[in-house]
Structure 1
Amino acid sequence: MSRSHVYLLTPLTVEQIVTILERALSDERGYGGNIRMSKEAVEHLATIAGGDARIALNCLELAVLTIGKNISLTQAQKIFEKRSQRYDKSGEDHYNTISAFIKSMRGSDADAALVWLFKMLESGEDPRFLFRRMTIFASEDIGNADPRALATVVSAWQAFEFVGLPEGEYFLAHACIYLSQAPKSNAVKRAMDNVRHFVQTARSLEVPLHLRNAPVKGMQEQGYGEGYLYPHDEEEGVVPGHYFPAGAQPQDFYLPSDHGEEKGVAERVRKAKAIIRTVEGR
């Protein structure tokens, strides 16, 4: 593998594909000058090929078989109305395009996100795959900055299941635009990463006695549930308490941003911790 080389294949320009088509029309290994095709028709095939010479040559062959030896722009347009998308649902362009879609929404550019969304739809991408990615995005990149984002995507997905395509594209676009314009926060993702590290490296994750359930008398005698304070008994709904594993010091995993509604969340978290962590000087 150390001797392997990686080559990046980029789409050809329209001018490059025009040159290839003209060579196929004139060269003896192609049509040898026996096909008359207008310059505009050649440019049309080069444009709809989407940067792929193979597609352009296949279109040329189909045009000759369908139309004959004299091909005009009007005739070519009747056969090839839509631009070919260079998109393989299991290949590199699939991953590149979904990456551009996610990053456009993360960057709050709804217009660009719509371009990538409809490129995928026009190329035959499964709409449910797109809804799955937007559902993840709603928590990973927005979270509590706009708690309605997740509900909006799920509702749009449900509406899509009721209606189907093509009208179901309204719900995809609706969700895409909402996520793009929503305030952003990755605080949920960062909290997950932080707590996962804690759980994986903690010496013990033993549940403290006061947090344990005591359904039978024998457990109560062992101290299960002893010292637990019921938050609803207090006016604030929050009481001092140690909720972390036995022997572990409280840590701050969830650090709310000041974006959107999470700014209010941050204030509530701060007030709650000020009460909770008064126990034993924590």
Structure 2
Amino acid sequence: YWLARMLEAGEDPLFVARRMVILAAEDVGLADPQALVVAVSGQQAVHFLGMPEARLPLAEVTVYLARAPKSNSAYAAYTRAAADVERTRNDPVPIHLRNAATRLMRDFGYGEGYRYAHDFEGHVVPEQTHRPPAAEGNVYYEPGTLGDDARPRDA
């Protein structure tokens, strides 16, 4: 209903498509990661086709997003991480994560102690930190209970 009402009233179909891309990322999220692909494809189709044909891909995206399971876990994770950034933005990057692109940087110890994740079981480096100490250990992503977001992942 609201899609038809907006388009029939003359709303810019690219504005509608933009809102659908946002909805796919923010409200459907990791419960159905394909929703973002569908929404972006819809936006590209709207841009390519123009009106009145753009109604059809917009209708398809609308129905897909309405039927999709919902999760805001990625949005919530980003919000928690951004709060930590606000609190720790002046803390230094751990030395082992700094890029040693020059001899001077290597002389300062940049990159020392870096361990390549793919050399370890499960591609996870045990006991290697990746954040400033004040943010280390904080959990940002908490899986949702619907769709793909609820599937257990191998560590």
TM over 0.5: yes
Cα distance in 1 between the residues matched to 2:89 and 2:8: 53
Deviation at 1:162, TM superposition (A): 2.2
Q: Write out per-residue CA displacement over residues 120-179 of structure 1, whole angstroms, 9 at most, x where no aligned residue.
A: 111111111111111111111011111110110111121222222212211010000000
2:150 equivalent in structure 1 = 263
Q: Which amino acid aligns with 2:140?
A: F
Unmatched tracts of structure 2, length 5 or more: none
Deviation at 1:230, TM superposition (A): 0.2
Judged with a 3 Å threshold, the aligned counterparts in structure 2 of structure 1 residues 214 and 203 are, in CA distance, closer, same or farther, namely closer
Matched, 1:123 2:6: no
Total equivalences in the alignment: 154
1:191 equivalent in structure 2 = 77
- Identical-pair percentage: 46
Cα distance in 1 between the residues matched to 2:51 and 2:102: 57
User: RMSD over aligned Cα, in angstroms?
Assistant: 1.7
Q: Which amino acid aligns with 2:85?
A: V
Matched, 1:172 2:32: no
Structural mapping, 1:106-185, within 5 Å:
115-185=1-71
Query: Which of 129, 132, 138 is matched with 1:245 structurally?
Result: 132
Residue 146 of structure 2 aligns to a residue whose secondary structure is coil
1:228 equivalent in structure 2 = 114
Cα distance in 1 between the residues matched to 2:147 and 2:106: 45
8 Å contact 2:98–2:110 — kept in the other structure? Answer: yes
| Greater relative CO, 1 or 2 (CA 8 Å, sep 6+) | 2
Structural mapping, 1:28-67, within 5 Å:
none
In the superposition, the TM-score normalised over structure 2's length comes to 0.90
Residue 130 of structure 1 aligns to a residue whose secondary structure is helix
Q: Which amino acid aligns with 1:260?
A: G
Cα distance in 1 between the residues matched to 2:41 and 2:136: 40
Cα distance in 1 between the residues matched to 2:79 and 2:122: 30
Cα distance in 2 between the residues matched to 1:201 and 1:193: 13
8 Å contact 2:42–2:58 — kept in the other structure? Answer: yes
Runs (4+) of structure 1 exceeding 4 A deviation are none
Q: Which amino acid aligns with 1:118?
A: A
